[in-house]
């Protein structure tokens, strides 16, 4: 005979360091500045790197990598230049990628096959990527890890860079716990003929989407049916069917939280604005799509997308022809859930108390290396000023207003507090839903609990009068747990 339970409250207990090391922790676990020394043996190696940019071909180099665990050396890693707007850095300091096993099969570092190095384009603070991804990680939103690096090429300091985790099967293994599904990257869509990854429906033909997205896994199968089905649903469902079905197709709460972060940081070089710089992964365990962030170097309003008052960006802002966001914002129930994420994020992370401390700690870590970088776009004084307040310069890639990190947070969080009453929103049951989801509820002999933050250490279940009735530990980086309720008494627990 089945028992019937209605679960009142779940508590997820978090820990920062309780789990075993995962791939890449040598570089990403603690804030640090690693050292990258690349030695190219080809004459005129830089000209060859530039020539290879258009074809994305790699060149051989020897690598010495030093982090807090020590120094490691590698022979014949692959190196290529990367980036779109960042490629136009005025001082020849290009973003680049290292592939450890491009020429030596199976060669890795700390389980990683690739690393990305951003040149801090249009960023006087030199930390926008790092701060944006740090907050995304802390908020439980899938995003790459980031840190800092001093980079030398053939013995000469090239400059201070951000080192960013590759979104690949290693990332899927530790963050998503599933790597069998299709991973799509939004296309770059630069230039007059650029085609945005807007999630609009262009028919059933795969060819209609191949210049908008890039398939990064299962390339041999090359089957885009699942992505096209998702896009068809987003665009061609009735409003009622969209509301009822979107949560069965994507990890809705995580996407709403991710979209809220883009709005709070005015990170418009994203799906919200430019319709690029994101990944979509079809999790085959849950049969749901997961949104993965990418490229935060123009967060804090550095890419305006034509918006004039970037610190007072409407909470429901989206560029034209963004059907996933427009459908959510036009639905009162879904929009309320989105606003709950905005409020929770401003309460926990996007506020001056939290953000100023995070920004200041990064400034103290990197200032000496930033001052030593003679190829950076901005002056030392610009760096110091932009931590706290805006800087304004002339035309070109450094032109216009570049918002100060701390002042941006202060102004934007003040705008949010005036735009909505978060004290009302945060008092609703949305916060329990936003912490974790479970089904079925009411339950019979078991329930399944899902959450996003991989740092959950244990689960506690409380009854309606606040008494603890069940506690269970969680394994390393687990984000789903089936709870056996058969030993508990019948009723609302």
Q: Would you state the pLDDT for residue 46?
A: 94
Percent of the chain at pLDDT exceeding 70: 82
Confidence bin at 326 (pLDDT 50/70/90): very high
Are residues 214 and 286 both part of a single domain? yes
Residue range 240-265, pLDDT digits in tens: 999 999 999 999 999 999 999 999 99
Q: Would you state the pLDDT for residue 432?
A: 37
Count of structural domains within the chain: 3
Confidence bin at 474 (pLDDT 50/70/90): low
Are residues 139 and 203 both part of a single domain? no
Residue range 9-58, pLDDT digits in tens: 555 554 444 445 789 999 999 999 999 999 999 999 999 999 999 999 99
Which one of 348, 377, 396 terminates a domain?
348
Structure tokens at 51: 């020539």
* 398 in a structural domain: no
* β partners of residue 456: 14
Which one of 314, 348, 382 terminates a domain?
348
- Report the SS3 class of residue 130: helix
Q: What is the mean pLDDT of residues 78-83?
A: 94
Confidence bin at 483 (pLDDT 50/70/90): confident
Highest mean pLDDT among 157-166, 390-399, 478-487: 157-166
Q: Would you state the pLDDT for residue 398?
A: 55
Are residues 43 and 105 both part of a single domain? yes
* 468 in a structural domain: yes
Distances (CA, A) of 55 to 52, 280, 307: 5, 25, 34
On the question of a cis peptide bond just before residue 463, with omega within 30 degrees of 0, the verdict is: no
Are residues 227 and 155 both part of a single domain? no
Are residues 342 and 280 both part of a single domain? yes
Are residues 115 and 230 both part of a single domain? no
Q: Would you state the pLDDT for residue 436?
A: 63
Top pLDDT among 447 and 301 is at: 301
Contact criterion met (CB below 8 Å) for 235 and 198: no
Are residues 183 and 214 both part of a single domain? yes
Confidence bin at 91 (pLDDT 50/70/90): confident
Structure tokens at 109: 């570092």
Q: What is the mean pLDDT of residues 293-313?
A: 93
pLDDT of 199 > 70? The answer is: yes
Percent of the chain at pLDDT exceeding 90: 74
Q: Looking only at Cα atoms, what is the longest distance across the chain?
A: 78
Structure tokens at 78: 């692959």
On average, the pLDDT of the chain sits at 88
190 alpha carbon, distance to own chain's centre: 21
Region of poorest pLDDT, from 97-106, 186-195, 352-361: 186-195
pLDDT of 165 > 60? The answer is: yes
Q: Would you state the pLDDT for residue 441?
A: 59
Are residues 203 and 292 both part of a single domain? yes
Q: How many CA atoms lie within 13 A of 330 on its CB side?
A: 11
Residue range 209-225, pLDDT digits in tens: 999 999 999 999 999 99
Residue range 97-142, pLDDT digits in tens: 999 999 999 999 999 999 999 999 999 999 999 999 999 999 999 9
pLDDT of 348 > 50? The answer is: yes
Confidence bin at 456 (pLDDT 50/70/90): low
Give the whole-angstrom CA distance, residue 133 versus residue 300: 12
Residue 284 belongs to domain spanning:
178-348
Q: Would you state the pLDDT for residue 94?
A: 95
- Report the SS3 class of residue 39: strand
Are residues 104 and 189 both part of a single domain? no
* β partners of residue 448: 439, 482
The 3-state DSSP composition of the chain as helix, strand, coil percent (nearest 5) reads 30, 25, 45
Are residues 187 and 113 both part of a single domain? no
Are residues 145 and 207 both part of a single domain? no
Q: Would you state the pLDDT for residue 6?
A: 52
Structure tokens at 475: 């394994």
* 79 in a structural domain: yes
* 440 in a structural domain: yes
Which one of 348, 376, 400 terminates a domain?
348
Residue range 402-449, pLDDT digits in tens: 999 999 999 999 999 999 999 888 654 344 334 566 656 566 566 767
Are residues 131 and 182 both part of a single domain? no
The reported pTM is 0.84
Confidence bin at 484 (pLDDT 50/70/90): confident
């Amino acid at each position: 005979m089945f028992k019937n339970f209605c679960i009142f409250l779940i508590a997820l207990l978090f820990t920062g360091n309780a789990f075993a090391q995962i791939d890449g922790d040598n570089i990403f676990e603690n804030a640090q500045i690693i050292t990258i020394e690349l030695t190219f043996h080809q004459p005129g190696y830089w000209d060859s790197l530039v020539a290879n940019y258009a074809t994305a071909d790699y060149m051989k180099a020897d690598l010495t990598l030093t982090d807090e665990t020590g120094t490691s050396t590698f022979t014949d890693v692959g190196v290529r230049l990367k980036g779109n707007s960042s490629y136009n850095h005025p001082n020849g300091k290009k973003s680049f990628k290292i592939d450890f096993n491009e020429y030596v099969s199976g060669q890795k570092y700390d389980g990683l096959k690739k690393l990305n190095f951003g040149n801090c384009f249009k960023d006087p603070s030199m930390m926008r990527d790092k701060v944006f991804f740090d907050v995304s990680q802390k908020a439980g939103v899938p995003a790459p890890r980031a840190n800092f690096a001093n980079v030398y090429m053939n013995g000469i300091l090239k400059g201070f860079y951000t080192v960013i985790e590759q979104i690949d099967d290693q990332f899927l293994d530790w963050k998503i716990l599933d790597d069998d599904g299709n991973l799509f990257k939004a296309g770059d869509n630069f230039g007059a003929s650029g085609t945005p990854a807007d999630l609009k429906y262009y028919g059933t033909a795969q060819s209609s989407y191949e210049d908008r997205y890039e398939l990064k896994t299962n390339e041999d199968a090359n089957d885009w049916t699942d992505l096209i089905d998702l896009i068809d649903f987003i665009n061609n469902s009735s409003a009622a069917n969209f509301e009822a079905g979107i949560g069965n197709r994507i990890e809705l709460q995580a996407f709403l939280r991710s979209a809220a972060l883009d709005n709070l940081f005015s990170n418009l070089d994203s799906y919200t604005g430019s319709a690029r710089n994101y990944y979509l992964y079809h999790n085959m365990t849950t049969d749901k799509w997961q949104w993965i962030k990418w490229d935060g170097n123009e967060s804090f309003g550095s890419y305006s997308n034509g918006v004039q008052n970037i610190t007072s960006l409407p909470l429901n802002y989206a560029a034209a022809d963004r059907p996933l966001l427009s459908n959510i914002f036009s639905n009162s129930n879904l929009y309320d859930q989105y606003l709950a994420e905005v409020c929770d994020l401003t309460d926990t992370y996007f506020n001056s108390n939290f953000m100023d401390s995070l920004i200041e700690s990064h400034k103290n870590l990197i200032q000496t290396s930033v001052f030593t970088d003679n190829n950076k776009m901005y002056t030392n004084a610009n760096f110091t000023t932009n931590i706290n307040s805006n800087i304004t310069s002339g035309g070109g890639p450094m032109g216009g207003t570049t918002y100060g990190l701390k002042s941006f947070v202060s102004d934007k969080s003040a705008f949010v507090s005036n735009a909505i009453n978060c004290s009302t929103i945060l008092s609703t049951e949305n916060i329990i839903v936003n912490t974790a989801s479970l089904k079925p509820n009411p339950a019979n002999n078991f329930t399944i609990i899902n959450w996003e933050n991989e740092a959950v250490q244990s689960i506690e279940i409380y009854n309606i009068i606040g008494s603890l009735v069940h506690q269970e530990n969680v394994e390393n980086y687990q984000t789903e747990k089936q709870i056996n309720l058969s030993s508990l008494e019948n009723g609302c627990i």
